[in-house]
């Protein structure tokens, strides 16, 4: 039996991708995660996360462990907000992570629930899985699974490190100090002055975020740009639903 953990990083930021991490190891190896100090990525320093990530890849090569990340771009996030919403995009990301698994039998899967209803989150993911139910496989979603299950914590580290690299690349390619990408970060707020100009909004900005809308209304002229729409008429950017991000 192999255990599988899935988690995401970057639901809230105004900059950069939403990243899904997944990993799979034999259940008999779980104690190695504890010995290495694996915890939810939010509870670890950047240096510790980097060290654990490198350790995981080293062990994966020796022990046949599996891990990968899947990134959803700001453009895809914006399109999702104009369609079914962010919760459904999360479902798609977790489902894509599951489809990446090289072994789809004899698995115990644990996911960090991204829906107030954890059972509904599980059902939505499984409803779209090719060949589900998989042989001798269970799928469970829990709130705070990254706190309670080491395999999910490991997935959270993989996702967090990949997202951090993406944000770092944005800073390198633009020459702008972008900070963490979160709306509450003063450095990120300052970066919007360089990434949201009258001529264009950078592709790595989430145009559909309320943060972007407020910045535009306070510092730019004309209609707030909507990804995929020409700025020829007044656009209504948001509807009142639970997926609106501040």
Q: Where are the domains of the chain?
A: 2-167
* Confidence class for position 218, pLDDT limits 50, 70, 90: very high
pLDDT of 236 reads: 41
**pLDDT tens across 40-66, in order?**
999 999 999 999 999 999 999 999 999
CA-CA distance, 10 to 194, in Å (whole number)?
Answer: 21
CA-to-CA distance for 141 and 128, rounded, in angstroms? Answer: 16
Largest CA distance in the chain: 60
Number of other residues whose CB lies within 10 A of the CB of residue 32: 17
pLDDT for 228 equals 85
List of residues 6+ apart from 51 with CB closer than 8 A: none
CATH architecture under which domain 2-167 falls: 2-Layer Sandwich (3.30)
Interval 120-141: pLDDT, tens: 999 999 999 999 999 999 999 9
Q: What is the DSSP string of 186-237?
A: HHHHHHHHHHB-SS-B-TTB-TTSHHHHHHHHHH--SSPP-TTS-TTS----
Burial of 96 (0-12, 13-18, 19+ CB in 10 A): middle
């Amino acid at each position: 039996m192999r255990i599988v953990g899935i988690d995401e990083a970057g639901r809230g930021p105004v900059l950069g991708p939403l990243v899904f991490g997944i990993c799979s190891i034999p259940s008999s190896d779980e104690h190695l995660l504890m010995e290495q100090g694996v915890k939810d990525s939010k509870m670890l320093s950047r240096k510790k996360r980097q060290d654990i990530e490198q350790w995981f890849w080293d062990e994966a090569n020796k022990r046949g462990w599996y891990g990968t990340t899947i990134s959803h771009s700001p453009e895809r996030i914006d399109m999702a907000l104009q369609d079914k919403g962010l919760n459904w995009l999360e479902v798609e990301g977790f489902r894509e992570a599951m489809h990446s698994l090289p072994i789809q039998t004899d698995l115990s899967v644990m996911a960090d629930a991204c829906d107030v209803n954890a059972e509904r989150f599980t059902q939505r993911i499984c409803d779209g899985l090719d060949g589900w139910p998989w042989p001798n496989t269970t799928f469970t979603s829990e709130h705070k699974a990254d706190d309670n299950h080491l395999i999910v914590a490991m997935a959270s580290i993989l996702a967090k490190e990949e997202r951090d690299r993406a944000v770092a690349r944005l800073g390198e390619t633009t020459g702008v100090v972008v900070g963490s990408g979160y709306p509450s970060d003063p450095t990120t707020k300052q970066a919007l002055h360089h990434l949201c100009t009258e001529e264009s909004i950078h592709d790595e900005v989430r145009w559909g975020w309320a943060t972007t809308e407020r910045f535009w209304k306070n510092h730019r002229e004309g209609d707030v740009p909507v990804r995929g729409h020409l700025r020829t008429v007044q656009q209504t950017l948001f509807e009142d639903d639970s997926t609106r991000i501040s």
